[in-house]
Amino acid sequence: MGNCTTTWEDLTPSQRKAVIVVGVMTSLLQALMLWDLWRRPAEQIRGSKRAWVVASFARPFAQIAYVVWGRRPPEEETTD
């Protein structure tokens, strides 16, 4: 196998822009997820807050999973 290392200088201007945009978007998604975890009561979250915080660093999959599965809808809240 050869050495297939691509450097920043090897990217075209449009590829560089795409990398920056995706990086900013995933960082924003993570920040929004962490903010929501901080303000949302534990009863409105499926699983532990601590686990979701750790998972938030698996970008962007954790943010998508949190929005789809991690938050409980208001009618599903438990009163345990």
pLDDT tens sequence across 2-24: 677 899 999 999 999 999 999 99
C-alpha distances (whole Å) from 72 to each of 15, 20, 22, 45, 80 are 38, 32, 28, 5, 14
Report percent pLDDT > 70 for the chain.
Answer: 90
Q: Are 34 and 53 in contact (CB under 8 A)?
A: yes
| pTM strictly above 0.95 | no
3-class secondary structure, 2? coil
Nearest to 57, CA basis, from 24, 21, 31, 22: 31
Q: Return the closest-CA partner of residue 64 out of 18, 16, 13, 29.
A: 29
